[in-house]
Structure 1
């Protein structure tokens, strides 16, 4: 049998980076969906005369679509392979985004709303299918000493996706539905490009080992400059879905908790940043976009210079705790109403959250939600926790405009409390159950206690 240690101990190569970049295009498109929904919300809301409740519908629909897409396609990725998902999800995204772009051309307001919500949902489903699968693939071909480094690229791609859209928003400021259509057409075209690039990707080596796909293994080994023994591979049965909860229930609970603590604050900013801060009437909408660019852009530098180099050396937890502390402070700055009238305090809040999340909380959450599951259930596990995160964030998003109407300080209280709780729980795990959070430089078989030998 081909030993996964061959892949775990491989030297980091250009092929690893190439595959990671292509897989990470899903993160770019996920960011495109979230930020694009927020950036274009005012335009479509004005065109279709949305009520306060209806303002929350695009966020709700996209997030629920992503939730159910992850739940359904996650299991399919374990049954039929990671590449199976790649054959369909980007086509769904591309077609749906372009059809969403033509919203508003019909005379009926109700028909336009229904049309838009259908394609918001399909874009969400495609994202839910793609991103957990992409993370599973990257995790499974990454050498154990560089897994954090390669996964950090996925978060950087996410932030780059937002910055590209914000650049378009600033350039097309005050053009209303022109901006809406350009954003969604751009995302649709990029989805088709992603689909074309991914046709040349190999299957996950670990998935091939599990299924006994010897020919595919030899192909990936050649590309990664690995010598594998020409021995007969043993084929393993895919674990039943119930094993995910029976054998890995505590890891599922940890992944759910980390996603919840991160997902609601991050999704709120991702989809409602322009909506929230334009309601303060301190700066123009164009300046709001510029502030959002500063917020997301500030996450790239620590991601590139700190987490990228240190996560596999000093470990995930120290970076996570520093990140959670900065995020908590950033939101608690919003609970004092006079601060909401001070542009410089708001800018400090954006920078703290941006730098904090880039420092490690988001990438660490991704890693810990992947590393504890066996190969036969990794996509299913990731799909389930993604389902919970996006479902909960979708429900919260529906009521976000109402919360903002009551006072932005309530957003600060909720998000700040989440990050404090995350800090406390991860600290306790680090002290009393370190195997849950200290996963650096370990093989996936070690971190997941994989039953596949």
Structure 2
């Protein structure tokens, strides 16, 4: 029977890549929730006559539900397996998205508001269940020398999800609820496709070792072309949930910090880019969507051409530090009032943040938040940090329309927040790299090494 070291030292195969793409459909749908909520906000707000506070409700509800889904299903993924979560979350997403697309069909506004918010919540719940589980699964079947490369695919798929929706938005601009219904129906159909494709995936080999499932381990090894070369056979012991905070507390705190730094600025851009740019009254809605497409497309290029190839060779930290500075500068550009009236300068700011986040900040945050937890707590750790990130972003999103203002006069507040956050991230990661490299130098190490998980001892 193959040992986990055989999976860690395996060559990269087409099956690794195929499975990563299938698992990464969760990121596509996470982006769909974010961008879809923002792109269609004006349509549903007009239909249901939202006031300023109510305009923040769709983002708030999806993010809070996502936080709760990550916390609850993250633990279930460690108890029953990664594939267990896959059996239900995409069905919930698909059904809820399609039902959400029917908002406005009934004549009562109060009826529509209540049910639309329920479906927003269910979509968020499904995303919270899925994405941390997808990342755990990908990291656990990835060879140690290619984990950064495969995890970078999840980031790219996230941006692709946004771009697909922006394509619909540009084509159907000013169509109101037609755009709203088209986007949410599309997301529902992709969720059903993801559910069908994932049926061909095996369970995480690390989780199978944890549960002693010899036949399943052999099946995974066969599909991934893993040969048995190790002399020892490792066994994992289940760890109690309390150990996540007691033994892995410092790593949990570090992951929370990275998610906080990333989550609030990024979710603000993801869900409120059209709202913020429209509030400046500089260009038409179609041009706004085109600018947003440029912003997200700019994040794909460094992810595909640089992080994909260098994260496992050059390392996580150099790419993270460069991208954190770029992201910080892009936000600080928004605090200078004349820049907010110059479309060219704003576009430069968007490009800096897009390239910066794709180059290192976001994919590195993903990697470092999965690499420090043991197999029996990896999903739980992801679920907890996702809970904190999405909860904080949800609270911030509820008040974003108030912060920005209908005339865009407070966009500089967003600039200060994002700029300071990323500057702080640069400083903290640099300090850790110098004095505690075990937090950030994880390239070419197995998950057992980065999590200090001794498979023999409890």
TM-score strictly above 0.5 = yes
Q: Does 1:440 align with 2:439?
A: no
Question: Partners in 2 of 1:269 and 1:231 — Cα distance?
Answer: 50
Q: Secondary structure at the match of 1:61?
A: helix
8 Å CA contact 2:3, 2:232 repeated in 1: no
Deviation at 1:226, TM superposition (A): 1.4
Q: Does 1:26 align with 2:26?
A: yes
Counterpart of 1:200? 200
8 Å CA contact 1:96, 1:122 repeated in 2: yes
Q: Does 1:219 align with 2:219?
A: yes
What is the aligned length? 453
Counterpart of 2:386? 386
Question: Partners in 2 of 1:9 and 1:2 — Cα distance?
Answer: 11
8 Å CA contact 2:139, 2:147 repeated in 1: yes
Counterpart of 1:72? 72
Counterpart of 1:326? 326
Counterpart of 1:35? 35
Question: Partners in 2 of 1:442 and 1:226 — Cα distance?
Answer: 18
Deviation at 1:108, TM superposition (A): 1.6
Counterpart of 2:395? 395
Gaps of 5+ in 2: none
Measured against aligned partners, the alpha-carbon deviations of 1:194-238 in whole angstroms (never above 9, x if no partner) come to 000001100001111111111111111011111237999776442
Q: 1:249 to 1:92 in 2, by over 3 A?
A: same
Measured against aligned partners, the alpha-carbon deviations of 1:46-67 in whole angstroms (never above 9, x if no partner) come to 1111100001000000000110
Counterpart of 1:409? 412
Question: Partners in 2 of 1:190 and 1:225 — Cα distance?
Answer: 29
Question: Partners in 2 of 1:226 and 1:200 — Cα distance?
Answer: 18
8 Å CA contact 1:218, 1:228 repeated in 2: no
Q: 1:206 to 1:44 in 2, by over 3 A?
A: same
Q: Does 1:249 align with 2:249?
A: yes
Deviation at 1:3, TM superposition (A): 2.4
8 Å CA contact 1:2, 1:228 repeated in 2: yes
Q: 1:361 to 1:232 in 2, by over 3 A?
A: closer
Residues 295-310 of structure 1 correspond to what in structure 2 (within 5 A)?
Answer: 295-310=295-310
If the length of structure 1 is used for normalisation, what is the TM-score?
0.98
Counterpart of 1:278? 278
Counterpart of 1:174? 174
Q: Does 1:348 align with 2:348?
A: yes
Q: Secondary structure at the match of 1:442?
A: coil
8 Å CA contact 2:97, 2:119 repeated in 1: yes
Deviation at 1:95, TM superposition (A): 0.3
Measured against aligned partners, the alpha-carbon deviations of 1:161-199 in whole angstroms (never above 9, x if no partner) come to 000000000011110000000000000011000000001
Counterpart of 1:264? 264
Measured against aligned partners, the alpha-carbon deviations of 1:404-447 in whole angstroms (never above 9, x if no partner) come to 01510000001110000000000000000001000000000000
If the length of structure 2 is used for normalisation, what is the TM-score?
0.97
Deviation at 1:36, TM superposition (A): 0.2
Counterpart of 2:428? 425
Q: Secondary structure at the match of 1:298?
A: helix
Measured against aligned partners, the alpha-carbon deviations of 1:216-265 in whole angstroms (never above 9, x if no partner) come to 11111011111237999776442111010011000000000000000000
Counterpart of 2:14? 14
8 Å CA contact 1:2, 1:209 repeated in 2: no
Question: Partners in 1 of 2:277 and 2:84 — Cα distance?
Answer: 41
RMSD after superposition? 1.3
Gaps of 5+ in 1: none
